[in-house]
């Protein structure tokens, strides 16, 4: 796990200080080593967090043959690929995956290599002979890769804050994405960021930059076949692939821990990991100041049964301070749509304090195995209609944050932006050849919700120099297994994630198997009083926030009680986002 930065000019040469400035802004992603490589119109930078190869032999940017590479991620099948390359008389000096990856590119080329590798990655690969830069992102977007482009060239990095170090990059809001955040929350556009003209390389995609031409190439996509209909075989194949992927996630030269929420996803990850580990598994569970904490109750039950070394991380009301909120906003580089970001940030911080550099979690299971289906009303709308205007009027507008408080001209912006976004989303992800609307929903979730969650997970972890591993989605074969199954095998007898529950019946306590799916818990309502107190103390500053004044009618600023507790949280985080990143004009 690392951090990468770079700059490619269509004309002219790169200044080394630009690359150094970018690299210095993401030291947290790789405190073990950092270096840059320059040649005329291109500069690459790399920060290293040692996981696999603890020697100096995998330092990057890495040069071999015609390629120079700066790479972030893990290739879990690199040992198999290494053996294949050794049979081709290619020899190795290091023990890690970096050398294997670049030599695979040299031997087999970009497209064949991307078909071969399994794992999570963001790669900057430069062809020194032909002056071609490739910016490559893994299949589902586990590792972040952002870029800014203008008529002079392209700037890219693992985190947006590195791109913002360049004087030509303006800190302007992407107004369309602000609308999407207010209306859709987690259903975010996979290409957009909160910053105008700064984009994500989309999952399963690479950019090919040659001179002043930039081509976007899709090398992987999701498609359902619904060919696996036998329940018994489906459960068996899930178990085989899941155990295999957990085993691969335990490959590390540094200590590994896991997050345990008490739900079926993290419980399965922790149970199978413990079965395959020699040492006792350390698990971390978020808890709040409340009596009936169901997540904690179920997590304790499994931890006692399996003899995990359990760490309960108590999040108190007083933890919600401007300082802490600012730290989290700076880490994730987007609006905090709910209060749960801070607890997750603290969870990673505590794991790092205890000496853990790798943490497993259950992220991604809900999107791939239909865990949200009884929780999110949006599915009922997308299932019943492809009429975008009806969706906007009947679902999105009534459920928007700050509904009824927008300026008149902004209301039109909202409708036009939502129409454009939803038409694109529904057209891309809701046209199953098998007419399986539930599986359409899954693809929509993977492309939108999961993409945003994975960005957040990576950055919350890397803020503390921790690698987050997500077994449910960083094995594309496990996702493809889900795509072979019709939705009737994923939701059965009124239970979501049916295959996972059947697999876990003889492994987990009955209370966890039978437990309903709940969203990751936010702090209880009593914590809202602390948020409101912060808003009251800073109301004058909040009411002067540029973006909030652009969208909210001025009459509502006269009294803080015009806003609900939920809206106060959004006011607070927009105000802090604008301050943290020193945002310019809208």
Which of 371, 384, 445 shows the shortest CA–CA distance to 222? 445
Residue 452: pLDDT band with limits 50, 70, 90:
very high
Burial class (CB in 10 A: 0-12, 13-18, 19+), 85: buried
pLDDT digits (tens, 9 = 90+) for 488-504: 999 998 888 999 999 99
Q: Is 556 among the domain residues?
A: yes
For tokens 């071999």, the residue is 64
Residue 519: pLDDT band with limits 50, 70, 90:
low
The DSSP 8-state label assigned to residue 72 in this structure reads E
Q: Is 442 among the domain residues?
A: no
Q: Is 393 among the domain residues?
A: yes
pLDDT digits (tens, 9 = 90+) for 559-570: 999 999 999 999
C-alpha distances (whole Å) from 455 to each of 99, 160, 200, 336 are 26, 11, 10, 12
Which residues, listed in sequence order, are joined to residue 126 by a DSSP beta bridge?
68, 133
Answer yes or no: are the C-beta atoms of 359 and 458 closer than 8 Å.
no
**Span 437-442, mean pLDDT?**
83
Question: What are the two backbone dihedrals, phi and then psi, of residue 175, each rounded to the nearest 5 degrees?
Answer: -60, -35
Helix (H, G, I), strand (E, B) or coil at 38: strand
**Residue 107: predicted pLDDT:** 97
**Residue 440: predicted pLDDT:** 82
Residue 156 sits in the same domain as residue 79: yes
The DSSP 8-state label assigned to residue 256 in this structure reads E
Number of helices (H) and strands (E), helices first, in the chain?
Answer: 24, 17
Question: What are the two backbone dihedrals, phi and then psi, of residue 494, each rounded to the nearest 5 degrees?
Answer: 75, 15
pLDDT digits (tens, 9 = 90+) for 159-186: 999 999 999 999 999 999 999 999 887 7
Q: Is this structure's pTM higher than 0.85?
A: yes
Which residues, listed in sequence order, are joined to residue 313 by a DSSP beta bridge?
286
CATH number of the domain to which 469 belongs: 3.40.50.620
Between CA 122 and CA 205 the distance in angstroms is 10
Report the residue count for the chain. 586
Written in H, E and C, the secondary structure of 189-234 is CCCECCECCEEECCCCEEEEEECCEEEEEECCCCCCCCCCCCHHHH
Asked if pLDDT for residue 374 goes beyond 60, the answer is no
Residue 258 sits in the same domain as residue 401: no
Asked if pLDDT for residue 385 goes beyond 70, the answer is no
**Span 445-469, mean pLDDT?**
95
**Residue 53: predicted pLDDT:** 76
Which of 439, 422, 421 shows the shortest CA–CA distance to 385? 422
| 3-state helix vs strand vs coil in the chain, percent to 5 | 45, 20, 35
CATH number of the domain to which 21 belongs: 3.60.20.10
**Span 521-534, mean pLDDT?**
89
Between CA 330 and CA 389 the distance in angstroms is 36
Token pair, residue 349, equals: 């911080």
**Residue 43: predicted pLDDT:** 98
Question: What are the two backbone dihedrals, phi and then psi, of residue 520, each rounded to the nearest 5 degrees?
Answer: -55, 125
Between CA 82 and CA 72 the distance in angstroms is 19
Residue 391: pLDDT band with limits 50, 70, 90:
confident
Residue 264 sits in the same domain as residue 355: yes
Which of 437, 442, 299, 336 shows the shortest CA–CA distance to 381? 437
What order do you get walking across the sheet with 205-210 strand by strand?
Answer: 62-64, 67-75, 119-127, 132-137, 205-210, 213-218
Q: Is 323 among the domain residues?
A: yes
Which residue range forms the structural domain that includes residue 108? 2-171+202-218
Mean of per-residue pLDDT scores for the chain: 92
Q: Is 92 among the domain residues?
A: yes
Between CA 272 and CA 239 the distance in angstroms is 10
Residue 290 sits in the same domain as residue 425: no
Between CA 273 and CA 283 the distance in angstroms is 11
Give the burial string for 307-343 (b: 16+ CB within 10 Å, else e): ebebbbbebebebbeeeebeebbbbbbbbbbbbbbbb
**Span 196-208, mean pLDDT?**
97
Residue 466 sits in the same domain as residue 562: no
Answer yes or no: are the C-beta atoms of 42 and 6 closer than 8 Å.
yes
Residue 347 sits in the same domain as residue 309: yes
C-alpha distances (whole Å) from 316 to each of 292, 320, 555, 571 are 15, 8, 34, 21
Token pair, residue 362, equals: 């259950």
Specify the number of domains making up the chain.
4
Residue 557 sits in the same domain as residue 495: no
pLDDT digits (tens, 9 = 90+) for 236-292: 999 999 999 999 999 898 999 999 999 999 999 999 999 999 899 999 999 998 867
Residue 42 sits in the same domain as residue 115: yes
Residue 265 sits in the same domain as residue 345: yes
Other C-beta atoms lying within 10 Å of the C-beta of residue 579:
14
Answer yes or no: are the C-beta atoms of 299 and 260 closer than 8 Å.
yes
C-alpha distances (whole Å) from 553 to each of 43, 57, 232, 556 are 46, 59, 58, 6
**Residue 431: predicted pLDDT:** 54
Q: What is the percent of the chain where pLDDT is above 90?
A: 78
**Residue 386: predicted pLDDT:** 62
Answer yes or no: are the C-beta atoms of 52 and 357 closer than 8 Å.
no
Residue 188: pLDDT band with limits 50, 70, 90:
confident
Burial class (CB in 10 A: 0-12, 13-18, 19+), 237: middle
Helix (H, G, I), strand (E, B) or coil at 362: coil
Helix (H) or strand (E) holding 451: helix 451-462
Between CA 511 and CA 504 the distance in angstroms is 11
Between CA 363 and CA 167 the distance in angstroms is 36
Cα torsion 363, 368, 374, 378: sign:
positive
Cis amide prior to 28 (ω within 30 degrees) = no
**Chain-centre distance of CA 123, in angstroms?**
16
Asked if pLDDT for residue 487 goes beyond 60, the answer is yes
Q: Is 380 among the domain residues?
A: no
| Alpha-helix runs per DSSP H in 250-321 | 264-276, 294-306
pLDDT digits (tens, 9 = 90+) for 292-344: 788 899 999 999 999 999 999 999 999 999 999 999 999 999 999 989 999 99
Q: Is 439 among the domain residues?
A: no
Asked if pLDDT for residue 113 goes beyond 90, the answer is yes
Asked if pLDDT for residue 378 goes beyond 60, the answer is no
Residue 295 sits in the same domain as residue 410: no
Asked if pLDDT for residue 375 goes beyond 60, the answer is no
Residue 141 sits in the same domain as residue 260: no
Residue 213 sits in the same domain as residue 253: no
Q: Is 379 among the domain residues?
A: no
Other C-beta atoms lying within 10 Å of the C-beta of residue 495:
16
């Amino acid at each position: 796990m690392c951090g990468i930065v770079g700059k490619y000019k269509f004309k002219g040469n790169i200044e080394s200080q630009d690359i150094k400035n970018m690299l210095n802004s993401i030291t947290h992603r790789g405190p073990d080593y950092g270096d840059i490589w320059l040649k005329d119109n291109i500069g690459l930078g790399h920060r290293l967090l040692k996981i696999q190869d603890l020697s100096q032999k995998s330092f990057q940017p890495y040069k071999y043959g015609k390629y120079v590479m700066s790479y972030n991620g893990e290739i879990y099948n690199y040992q198999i690929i290494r053996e294949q390359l050794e049979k081709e008389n290619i020899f190795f000096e290091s023990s890690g995956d970096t050398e294997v990856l670049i030599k695979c590119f040299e031997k087999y080329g970009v497209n064949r290599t991307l078909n071969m590798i399994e794992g999570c990655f963001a790669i900057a690969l430069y062809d020194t002979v032909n002056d071609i830069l490739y910016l490559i992102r893994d299949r589902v977007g586990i590792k972040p890769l952002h870029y800014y482009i203008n008529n002079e060239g392209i700037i890219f990095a693992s985190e947006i804050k590195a791109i913002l170090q360049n004087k030509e990059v303006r800190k302007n809001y992407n107004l369309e994405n602000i609308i999407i955040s207010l209306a859709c929350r987690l259903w975010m556009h996979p290409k957009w960021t909160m910053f105008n003209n700064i984009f994500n390389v989309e999952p399963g995609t690479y950019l090919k930059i040659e001179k002043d031409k930039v081509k976007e190439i899709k090398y992987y996509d999701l498609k359902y076949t619904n060919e696996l209909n036998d329940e018994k075989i489906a459960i068996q194949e899930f178990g085989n692939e899941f155990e295999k992927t957990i085993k691969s996630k335990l490959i590390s030269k540094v200590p590994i821990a896991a997050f345990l929420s008490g739900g079926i996803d993290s419980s399965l990850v922790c149970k199978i990991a413990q079965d395959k580990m020699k040492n006792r598994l350390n698990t971390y569970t978020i808890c709040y100041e409340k009596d009936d904490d169901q997540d904690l109750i179920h997590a304790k039950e499994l931890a006692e049964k399996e003899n995990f070394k359990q760490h309960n991380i108590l999040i108190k009301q007083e933890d919600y301070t401007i300082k802490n909120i600012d730290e989290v906003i700076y880490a994730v580089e987007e609006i905090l749509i709910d209060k749960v970001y801070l607890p997750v940030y603290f969870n990673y911080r505590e794991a790092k304090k205890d000496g853990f550099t790798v943490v497993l979690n259950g992220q991604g299971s809900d999107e791939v195995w239909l865990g949200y289906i009884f929780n999110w009303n949006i599915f009922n709308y997308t299932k019943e209609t492809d009429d975008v205007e009806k969706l906007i009027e009947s679902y999105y507008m009534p459920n928007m944050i700050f509904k009824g408080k927008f300026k008149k001209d902004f209301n039109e912006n909202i409708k036009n932006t939502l129409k454009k976004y939803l038409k694109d989303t529904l057209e891309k992800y809701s046209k199953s050849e098998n007419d399986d609307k539930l599986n359409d929903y899954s693809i929509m979730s993977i492309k939108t919700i999961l993409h945003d969650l994975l960005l957040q997970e990576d950055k919350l972890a890397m803020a503390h120099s921790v690698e987050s591993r997500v077994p449910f989605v960083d094995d594309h074969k496990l996702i493809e297994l889900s795509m072979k199954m019709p939705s009737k095998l994923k939701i059965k007898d009124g239970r979501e994630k049916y295959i996972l529950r059947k697999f876990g019946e003889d492994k987990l306590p009955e209370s966890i198997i039978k437990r309903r799916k709940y969203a990751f818990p936010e702090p209880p309502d009593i914590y809202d009083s602390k948020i409101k107190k912060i808003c009251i103390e800073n109301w004058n500053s909040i009411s002067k926030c540029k973006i909030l004044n652009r969208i909210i009618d001025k009459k509502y600023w006269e009294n803080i009680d015009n806003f609900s507790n939920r809206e106060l949280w959004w006011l607070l985080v927009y105000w802090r986002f604008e301050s943290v990143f020193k945002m310019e004009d809208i």
